Amino acid sequence: MDTELFSVTTGDQAVTDVTATVATFCAGRGDGLCHVFAPHATAGLALMETGSGSELDLAELLARLLPRDDRYRHRHGSTGHGADHLLAVLVSPSLVLAVQGGEPLLGTWQSVVLVDVNPDNPSRQLRCTWVAAH
């Protein structure tokens, strides 16, 4: 098993495409599985189409599901931060991808994205772990 930690800057984006980071980690490794993990209590990972407006659609959906106001018991941080902690219940903090010949086996329109609606932390980490096929 091999693992590496990457820095990701999300800025003010709810959805950040990290496909290139994952592909770079997998390159040259042959066949196996890549476990991708967001080691944060307020972020998750998903597979989705990017570049077609879906990123904004997801941000708007999350805003409807998890409004940023003072209704939450978890209250440190900016207003609505309690919603950030519920995100990881809806968007898993990890994914496992099959890799063949050093390339993640993604569908034609699939990208790996970091989903993070927390405005308090524009710098995140992404842990990729490799398990080789035997």
pLDDT in tens, 37-83: 999 999 999 999 999 999 999 999 999 999 988 888 887 878 878 88
Enclosing domain of residue 120: 2-132
Residue given tokens 């524009």 in the structure block: 122
Alpha-helix residue ranges (DSSP H) falling in 1-134: 19-26, 54-65, 81-90
Percentage, residues of the chain above pLDDT 90: 78
Give CA–CA dist 21/81, Å, rounded: 28
Give CA–CA dist 16/40, Å, rounded: 15
Query: For the segment 96-111, what is each residue's pLDDT rounded down to a tens digit?
Result: 999 999 999 999 999 9
The structural domain count of the chain equals 1
Compute the average pLDDT of residues 9-25: 95
pLDDT of residue 44: 97
CATH of residue 23's domain is 2.60.120.460
